[in-house]
Amino acid sequence: MERPSTQLSVYETAYMRVCTSCRRLLRPDEKAVIFSCPNCGQVEIIRCYKCRKQTVKYTCPVCGFTGP
């Protein structure tokens, strides 16, 4: 019988998303756009509905790429 030796505690944070542009905490039911950085693809860019509507700039925390 195999049992997982380590239990990941990062599970909770999967639901706690923060908008990359305004740093606001997003609720799971919020209409946010999540996509990989178009430059490095190493990080998820998350934009809340408000930022998407106002086309607020975002900055990739990994490569520093900014985009609309």
Residues near Zn ion (CB under 5 A) are 19, 21-22, 37, 39-40, 48, 51, 60, 62-63, 65
Q: Is residue 35 within 8 Å of 19, Cβ to Cβ?
A: no
Q: Smallest distance from the beta carbon of 52 to Zn ion, in angstroms?
A: 8
Cβ-based nearer residue to Zn ion, 13 or 35: 35
Q: Smallest distance from the beta carbon of 16 to Zn ion, in angstroms?
A: 14
Cα 45 from chain centroid (whole Å): 5
Cβ-based nearer residue to Zn ion, 9 or 44: 44
Terminal CA-CA length for the chain: 51
Tokens encoding 65: 């790429």
